[in-house]
Structures are given as C-alpha cells and as structure tokens.
C-alpha cells in the first residue's frame, strides 16, 4: 500500500488529508508525522487481520448464502410480456397513472433480482 519513504516526504497536512480520505485515525498526537505514518502503513494489515478474525465485514455462512439463492428462485423470471414492458420502461416510456405505479414496481423488482443475482455471483467467488 504505502511505503514509509513515500509517506515521509509528505507534510502533516497531506498526511492528515490521506487519513481523512480513507477514514483512518492517526495513532497518538496529531502534531507528529509518525502518528499519521503509523496508521497509514498499518491499516491494510489490520483490516485483513480483522476480516480473518470475523470482525466487521464477514462472509456469509452457507445458510445465508442458500437464502439468497432461494430468494432469487422465488422471484422467478419475467414473462415475455413483462420482459417487454421492462425493456420499454428502461427506454424511458411510462404508462399513465395508476398503471405507472405497477410498472415502476415491476421494474424495481426486476432490478432487485438482477442485483441479487450479481451479489450471489460475487459471493460465490
């Protein structure tokens, strides 16, 4: 990530901006460069250590993974007519009210399913 030499040449203000950019708090006093440098050099290793310990963001267990798959199955696939309505909606064409509400719900459901499928694929890697 960062090398000590690339951080040493920066000013306290630049180091502070880097810490703010990544949401890292300096260790110790804000008046010393080493407080910022230590934090900026250590955070990647700490983040991976926390991940391995199961702290913070954690991978799903098998049951949770199956639940996402089940949600995708329950939603099924759009009919040919629903697929056509989704396509024309994505082109910006809207029905008149009150049917527009259901048109938007159909599009939102389709987009949610697509996102779930993408999430499922990402989590299965």
Q: Phi and psi of 42, rounded to 5°?
A: -90, -25
Whether residue 34 is found in the same domain as residue 15: yes
Whether residue 43 is found in the same domain as residue 77: no
Q: Which two tokens stand for residue 32?
A: 């010393």
Query: pLDDT per residue over 16-33, tens digit each?
Result: 999 999 999 999 899 999
* Band (1; pLDDT cuts 50, 70, 90): confident
| Tokens 């926390």 found at | 50
* pLDDT for residue 49: 96
Whether residue 118 is found in the same domain as residue 69: yes
Please choose, from the candidates 38, 46, 37, the residue with its C-alpha nearest in 3D space to the C-alpha of residue 12.
37
Whether residue 48 is found in the same domain as residue 74: no
Whether residue 69 is found in the same domain as residue 114: yes
Whether residue 12 is found in the same domain as residue 32: yes
Domain holding 69, by residue range, is 62-123
125 pLDDT exceeds 90? Answer: no
Whether residue 40 is found in the same domain as residue 81: no
Query: What is the Cα–Cα distance from 78 to 84, expressed in whole angstroms?
Result: 9
Whether residue 75 is found in the same domain as residue 101: yes
Q: Count up the domains in the chain and report the number.
A: 2
Give the residue-averaged pLDDT of 62-67: 92
């Amino acid at each position: 990530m960062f090398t000590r030499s690339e951080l040493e040449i920066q000013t306290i203000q630049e180091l502070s901006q880097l810490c703010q950019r990544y949401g890292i708090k300096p260790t110790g006093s804000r008046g010393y460069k080493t407080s910022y440098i230590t934090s900026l050099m250590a955070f990647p290793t700490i983040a991976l250590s926390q991940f391995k310990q199961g702290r913070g963001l954690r991978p799903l267990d098998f049951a949770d993974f199956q639940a996402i798959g089940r949600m995708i199955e329950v939603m099924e696939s759009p009919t040919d007519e629903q697929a056509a309505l989704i396509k024309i909606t994505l082109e910006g064409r809207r029905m008149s009210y009150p049917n527009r509400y259901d048109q938007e719900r159909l599009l939102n459901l389709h987009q949610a399913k697509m996102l779930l499928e993408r999430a499922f694929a990402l989590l299965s890697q």
